[in-house]
A and B are shown apart, each in its own frame.
Chain A
Amino acid sequence: MVPRAALLIALTVAAFCVPLVASEFWVTLLMQIMIFGLLALSTDLLLGHAGLFSLCHAAFFAVSAYTVAILQVRYGFGTASAAPLGIIAGTTLAFVFASAVRTRGVYFILITLAFGYIVWGVAYRWASFTGGDNGVTSVPFPALGSLRVTNTVAYYYVVLAVVLLVAAAYRLLVASPFGLTLRGIKSSESRMRSMGYHVGRHLYAAFVLSGVIASIAGVLYVYFNRFVNPTAASFPVSVEAVLMTIVGGTGTIIGPFLGSGIILILRNWVSGFFHYYTAVLGIVFIVTVLWAPQGIMGLLARWRSGDRGEGV
């Protein structure tokens, strides 16, 4: 087995070199993969570690994207203030929506879904503030003082740096006692409770933290896309983020990015010749659930351990 550190360094170096060798199409696609991978990673903190299946993460993603767009375009804020305010806005919403952790199982799924729809509905219907269906357009590239991003390749490096930083912080988080407690709750909530852990507070904190990550992804997204409309808050974005996580493999860091890569490359490829891409996506959902519920990372782990059997 290749040492994990060597593999990670090789991947990072490769990611830094991509703009030198690849066309702008691939740079853009890779950026998109990283941004949606980060969104997928945020859902995986809940799904892979705490065992909660959230369907509202597009809400934090979109609220932070909208905040940045509106502040920059309408009120002339700079990136230095708009980007942090975007993350704060998304996180504040996460504090409110985190009340969903009072529920479990199917209720949690349905409630987060309904929460997500509130944000979509506001983005769509409150047209005087959010721009309705058209959203907010002509968001500039980010700039910090005299440091300006002026082209796609420069922004690629910004995204790469932020994603690496967040992934490193995420790694520390899940390896910490806090992460361990979450996995304890996932495997047996009642045991953790009887051992004296505040299960509710841990889940609440995990929900908010995953909202922070989704908000960071939202900021990266709005500068990447240069506009934002209600689609960013829509249900398909939330459920696709979870699908990416599962396709890649839950409970890992690389899995959500891998899943994001597979789904987005598939979309780019299929859209080229087939008009009904969503149907293909639907089939990916069905196939994943029926035949690869542990995702690519799960298949890899099974292959490495030499177990070709059915048991997981």
Chain B
Amino acid sequence: MSSAAILQAINGISLAALLFLLSSGFTLTFGLMRVVNMAYGAYYLLGGYVGYSVVRATGSFELAMLCGGLTIVVLGYFVDRFLIRPIGGNHLAQVLLTVGVAFVIGEVCLAVWGGDNLRVQTPSYLRGSVTLPGDIYYPRYRFALILFGTFAAVSLWLLYKKTQIGAVVRAGVDDREMVNATGINVDRLFVLVSALASFLAGAAGVAGGAFLTLNPGAEWDILVLALVVVIIGGLGSLEGAILGSIIVGLLDAYGRWLFPELSYFILFGPMAILLLFRATGIFGKEH
């Protein structure tokens, strides 16, 4: 492999780390409550903007991620409780409603932060680059992002597979009524999972805002990538979100590098072919 190819591989993996933060929440909330929330892209963007302002005010990147995430936890709770819950299990209504929410959030962001491309400032210890064998210089921040994404994936996986809460969530994904019948309050469980997903989306905005830019329209660009991740991986599957993120991240990086004009084809082509053979994605089940 040439050094350029290696560079693109690392680019792809770092994008994958970011996509995982966003798509894991989407896929788990769908799995548990069958809720399609198209506002996740807007959550990402708003979280990123809040983080941008926090970094400018305090200079702390960690605090920015925390604030970005918590803002979305609060917002996400109200959207779930007062908008999504009343309409029940109708996917059409959920999509239209959450698209509407995303439009409103996007315009509020435009009004507050303007239309320029903004970038969250990275902390000083993550600036600069590292040198890899073969004289490849690579931004240190992106390596940190890969580590953070891996850490998040491993902890989520452990939480999901090895703890009692995870077992209940998995049971809820498989058969919600049955779990309800055993006396576990699935609605309350959902609030917990949804809060986690919202936090990840908001924090992802801050992390992504430091190497992609934050601008009006970025919410849809990132949402569509996250959707492809969950379509490829399978809705409701955490493993699917991990594998799907890596596939989409790599396809995007290599597609942009090799065929810049047709990169969207490179990204969606494999998805379309996969769907012809397996409509529910790699790990998905019928819903």
Chain A interface (Cβ within 8 Å of chain B)? 47, 53, 55, 99-100, 102-103, 105-107, 109-111, 113-115, 117-118, 120-122, 125-128, 235, 239, 242-243, 246, 275-276, 278-279, 281-286, 288-290, 293
Contact = CB atoms under 8 A, between A and B. Distances in A.
Contacts of A278: 103, 106-107
Interface stretch (B60-68, B124-132, B198-206, B259-267): B259-267
Given A103-B279, A107-B279, A110-B231, A126 B96 contact: no
Interface stretch (B6-14, B70-78, B86-94, B146-154): B86-94
Given A239-B96, A289-B87, 17 more contacts: A55-B95, A107-B231, A107-B280, A109-B95, A114-B224, A121-B263, A121-B267, A125-B264, A242-B96, A243-B96, A275-B111, A279-B108, A282-B99, A282-B100, A282-B107, A285-B96, A293-B93
Contacts of A246: 96
Contacts of B228: 114
Interface centre among A53, A117, A235 (most CB of B within 10 A): A117
A7 to B, nearest CB: 29
A293 B110 CA distance: 29
Contacts of B92: 47, 53, 109
A286 B275 CA distance: 31
22 contacts: A53-B91, A55-B95, A99-B276, A106-B30, A109-B36, A114-B268, A117-B224, A117-B264, A118-B264, A118-B265, A128-B261, A239-B95, A239-B96, A275-B111, A276-B107, A278-B107, A281-B100, A281-B103, A282-B104, A285-B100, A289-B97, A289-B100
A109 B101 contact: no
Contact of A125 (B93, B101, B261, B276): B261
Nearest to B277: A102
Interface centre among A102, A114, A235, A239 (most CB of B within 10 A): A114
Interface string B241-268: 0000000000000000000111111011
B111 A114 contact: no
Given A106-B235, A279-B108, A290 B83 contact: yes
A125 B260 CA distance: 7
A53 B90 CA distance: 11
B188 interface: no
Contacts of B30: 106
Chain B interface SS verdict (over half): helix
B224 A113 contact: yes
B217 to A, nearest CB: 9
Contacts, number: 125
B227 interface: yes
B105 to A, nearest CB: 8
Contacts of B260: 125
B168 interface: no
Contacts of A282: 99-104, 106-107
Interface of B: 30, 34, 36, 83, 86-87, 91-93, 95-97, 99-104, 106-108, 110-111, 220, 224, 227-228, 230-231, 235, 260-265, 267-268, 271-272, 275-276, 279-280, 287
Nearest to A293: B93
A312 to B, nearest CB: 12
A120 B265 CA distance: 11
B235 A107 contact: yes
Contact of A102 (B231, B268, B279): B279
Nearest to A275: B111
Contacts of A103: 275, 279
A164 to B, nearest CB: 29
Nearest 5 CB-CB pairs, A to B? A285-B100, A121-B264, A282-B103, A279-B107, A282-B104
Contact of B103 (A111, A126, A279, A288): A279
A282 B275 CA distance: 31
A177 to B, nearest CB: 26
Contacts of B107: 276, 278-279, 282
B38 to A, nearest CB: 9
Contacts of A243: 96
Contact of B100 (A122, A128, A284): A284
Contacts of A47: 92
Nearest to B280: A107
Contacts of A128: 261
Nearest to A116: B224
A114 B268 CA distance: 7
Contact of B287 (A100, A105, A275): A105
Contacts of A111: 231, 275
Contacts of A127: 261
A285 B93 CA distance: 9
A110 B231 CA distance: 8
Interface centre among A47, A99, A120, A285 (most CB of B within 10 A): A285
B103 A110 contact: no
Nearest to B110: A276
B252 to A, nearest CB: 11
Contacts of B262: 122, 125-126
A172 B272 CA distance: 33
B52 to A, nearest CB: 20
A290 B103 contact: no
A117 B226 CA distance: 13
A288 B87 CA distance: 11
Contacts of A281: 100, 103
Nearest to B224: A117
Contacts of A235: 220, 224
